């Protein structure tokens, strides 16, 4: 990732009737970066992406691509490509023809179209699938073709709107890793939209957390997760305990809470009763009822039984105070 700004968004707004979909977004995106726009449904992510692509006009504000204001340019005059969740492949064309199509329309020589299409097919690890029709591919393979169709144009920026949303969990997790590796290999700037916080944490160099048409926080996955600047961010990204203590509400991550039958290990502690132990594969969740509500820990502990009197504790410094 370089220090050159490739996309610069300033004061971007867009309303639909009474709905302020995008309510003032400023964002600089660096060349070669994998940035994710993360937020709940309706928070304005797609609208921002569509304005970068040129499918939607801003009410105010500007978008620069490689130093040039493109706000008033049509989509085809912008050096960006979009990958959508529904692959929108041509069903009657085979994979290679689907990938070549855009290049042919641009009038690129036939031979170059073929070699570039084959290269794109290799990049998405679908060598040997060129002759198949989309109907002869799995959902994950179709999504790779859609990706190849965008990559073949060698855009400087690739926009991806929930591209993995239609895949089942296992395949989605696999594609997250592949997509990240592919992005590193091709060096194209990816602007990725998702409402899935785990996906955002897994893939991104930086995350912009959206809330009500605005960026609530911008930072690396670690910054966002460890130092959320608001209750919204700490609750939207990762799991959190919401607890009332001494009249204020605090949030604490379950992995920072320990449970024991003896002395507490942190400088904040609550007495309680172990209500339940839930096995969720890689982790175990301990639910402890306290006077301040149920507290969840995921720190493994031996020899506890439901009904035991226990202490939950954590370090005050690790809490997040909710204003
Ligand atoms: P997200 O992608 O984060 O789910 P969107 O950008 O799609 O959010 O939508 C933001 C808000 O703008 C929502 O309230 C949505 O209903 C509204 N909106 C988006 N596009 C349109 C449109 N074409 N017409 C009317 N309302 C829209
Ligand atoms: Mg959307």
Cβ–ligand 1 distance for 19 under 6 Å, the answer: yes
Average pLDDT over the chain, rounded to an integer: 93
Residue 265 pLDDT: 85
Pairwise CA distance, residues 198 & 184, whole Å: 19
With beta carbons less than 8 A apart as the criterion, state whether 151 and 118 touch.
no
Residue 166 pLDDT: 83
pLDDT of 269 > 90? The answer is yes
Q: Which atom of ligand 1 is closest in space to residue 41's alpha carbon? A: 4
Mean pLDDT for 97-115 is 92
Shortest CA distance to 45 belongs to which of 228, 212, 238?
212
pLDDT of 203 > 90? The answer is yes
**Ligand 2 center to 41 CA (angstroms):** 6
**pLDDT tens across 153-196, in order?**
999 999 999 999 888 899 999 999 999 999 999 999 999 999 99
3-state SS class at 85: coil
CA geometry: angle at 175 spanning 144 and 40, to 5°?
105
Task: Locate 220 and state its tokens.
Answer: 């690396």
Place of tokens 């172990």: 274
% of residues, the chain, pLDDT over 90: 82
Mean pLDDT for 265-293 is 94
**Ligand 2 center to 37 CA (angstroms):** 10
DSSP bridge partners of 217: 209
Domain extent listing, the chain: 5-232, 243-321
- Regarding predicted confidence, which is higher, 321 or 63? 63
With beta carbons less than 8 A apart as the criterion, state whether 311 and 257 touch.
no
**Residues 166, 170, 174, 179, Cα dihedral to 10°:** 20
Distance of CA 141 to the CA centre of its chain: 21
Place of tokens 């916080």: 197
Residue 277 pLDDT: 95
Give nearest CA residue, ligand 1 atom 5.
44
Residue 246 pLDDT: 86
Mean pLDDT for 243-272 is 91
Mean pLDDT for 37-65 is 97
Give nearest CA residue, ligand 1 atom 23.
16
17-43 b/e (C-beta count within 10 Å ≥ 16 → b): eeebbbbebebebbbbbbbbbbbeeeb
Pairwise CA distance, residues 54 & 74, whole Å: 6
Cβ–ligand 1 distance for 43 under 6 Å, the answer: yes
pLDDT of 87 > 80? The answer is no
Helix 110-123 with 169-186: angle, nearest 10 deg: 130
Task: Indicate the top mutation candidate among 21, 41, 84 to test ligand 1's pocket, ranked by most ligand atoms within 8 A of CB.
Answer: 21
CATH 3.10.450.50 fits 243-321, yes or no: no
Relative to the alpha carbon of 212, which ligand is closest? 1
Task: Locate 22 and state its tokens.
Answer: 């995008």
**What's the CATH number of domain 5-232, 1.10.287.1080, 1.25.40.10, 3.40.50.300, 2.40.480.10?**
3.40.50.300
With beta carbons less than 8 A apart as the criterion, state whether 149 and 97 touch.
no
């Amino acid at each position: 990732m370089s220090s050159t700004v490739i996309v610069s968004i300033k004061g971007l707004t867009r309303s639909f009737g009474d709905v302020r979909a995008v309510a003032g977004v400023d964002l600089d995106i660096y060349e070669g970066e994998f940035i994710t726009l993360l937020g709940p449904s309706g928070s304005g992510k797609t609208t921002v992406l569509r304005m970068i692509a040129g499918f939607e006009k801003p009410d105010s504000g500007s978008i620069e691509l490689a130093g040039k204001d493109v706000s008033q340019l049509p989509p085809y005059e912008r050096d960006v490509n979009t990958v959508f969740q529904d692959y929108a492949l041509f069903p009657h064309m085979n994979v290679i023809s689907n990938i070549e199509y855009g290049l042919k329309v641009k009038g690129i020589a036939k031979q170059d179209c073929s070699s570039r299409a084959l290269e794109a097919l290799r990049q998405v690890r679908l060598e040997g699938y060129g002759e198949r029709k989309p109907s002869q591919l799995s959902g994950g393979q179709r999504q790779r073709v859609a990706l190849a169709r965008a990559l073949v144009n060698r855009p400087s920026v690739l926009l991806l709107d929930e591209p993995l949303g239609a895949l089942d969990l296992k395949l989605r997790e696999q594609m997250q890793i592949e997509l990240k590796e592919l992005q590193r290999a091709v060096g194209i700037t990816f602007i990725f939209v998702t409402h899935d916080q785990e996906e955002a944490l897994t893939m991104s160099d930086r995350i912009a957390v959206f809330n009500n048409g605005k960026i609530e926080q911008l930072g690396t996955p670690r910054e966002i997760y460890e130092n959320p600047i608001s209750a919204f961010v700490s609750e939207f990204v990762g799991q959190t305990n919401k607890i009332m203590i001494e009249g204020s509400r605090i949030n604490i991550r379950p992995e920072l809470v320990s449970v024991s039958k003896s002395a507490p290990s942190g400088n904040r502690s609550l007495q309680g009763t172990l209500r339940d132990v839930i096995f969720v594969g890689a982790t175990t969740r301990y639910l402890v009822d306290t006077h301040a509500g149920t507290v969840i820990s995921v720190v493994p502990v031996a020899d506890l039984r439901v009904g035991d009197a226990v202490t939950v504790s954590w370090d005050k410094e690790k809490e997040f105070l909710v204003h």
